[in-house]
Amino acid sequence: MQGSANLNVMVKAARIAGRSLVKDFREVENLQVSAKGPGDFVSKADLAAEKIIREILTEARPTYGWVGEESAPVEGDDPTRRWIVDPLDGTTNFLHGLPHWAVSIALEHKGEIVAAVVFDAAKDEMYTAEKGGGAWMNGLRLRVSGRHRMIESIFATGVPFGGRADLPMTLQDIARIAPQCAGIRRWGAAALDLAYVAAGRYEGFWERSLNAWDIAAGLLLVREAGGLIDGVTPNTDPLEVGEVIAAAEPIFEKFASSVRG
């Protein structure tokens, strides 16, 4: 797949940041970690990865704006374009030595995501998408699952940690959906959950209380792989409301109805 100049620089940034993260991942027990809040940690590795990504993207496109998990937003000279970046989605997995985390980079133009990269550095899986250009993983075209029966389908979600107000609601969701499906997975990295929907590994994904950098890149991957996206509240923009239902078209309505109760 031949990507645009913007996508190529995004891939470059993700690879270099990913290599830095893999190096630190091998020494995870030695990382200096400071708590940002219950269940939410930031490490030196996380901050170093964001610095790498920001430097590469800013050098290539100095006029674009910036929104990143670990730093203050920046309004660019070009108000129509901004990067939306999570340098380490799945930080808790990373800090526990679980090899399921990713670099997520999205490019927004006039309020719409037009290019996306999700890099699973531990497994060397590079997911990319551009508006109208399809979704890809390591050069292979991605398509969402064709399954249309709930009982044959696997879904993913995020389960809030203890103390968060949305935990009871998520447990209620699971109680409704689990009896209808082949399984529910909670792997702790929303960017990869959406990438797996795009790849047909899951039939669908839902979650509440998300940030734009958690899902911006993954949303485009799903759309370009033929999937459908909506908020948990019907006809809302997941990036604005911070909640999402994503699924293959054959299963979307059944799945969405189950999530919404």
Has 142 been labeled as part of a binding site?
no
Cα–Cα distance, 149 to 78 (Å, whole number):
46
Look at residues 42, 110, 55 and name the one whose alpha carbon lies nearest to residue 79.
Answer: 110
Q: How far is 118 from 133, CA to CA, in rounded Å?
A: 16
Q: Where are the alpha helices (DSSP H) in 91-189?
A: 91-95, 167-177
Partners of 125 in beta bridges = 120
89 within 8 A of 23, measured Cβ to Cβ: no
Q: Which of 11, 17, 83 is nearest to 52 (CA)?
A: 17
CB contact burial 126-146 (16+ within 10 A = b; e otherwise): bbbbbeebbbbbeeeebebbe
Q: Is 214 annotated as ligand-binding?
A: yes
In angstroms, rounded to a whole number, what is the distance separating the alpha carbons of residues 109 and 61?
13
Distance from chain centroid for Cα 37: 21
- Tokens 């999570």 correspond to 86
Task: Find out whether 89 is annotated in a ligand binding site.
Answer: yes
Cβ distance 117 to 144 under 8 Å?
no
Dihedral of CA 70/30/95/128: which sign? positive
Work out the widest C-alpha separation in the chain, in whole angstroms. 51
- What gap in Å lies between CA 241 and CA 219, rounded to an integer? 14
- The reply, when asked if residue 24 is annotated as ligand binding, is no
Residue 140 known to bind ligand: no
* Binding residue ranges: 69, 86, 88-89, 214
* Binding residue ranges for Mg(2+): 69, 86, 88-89, 214
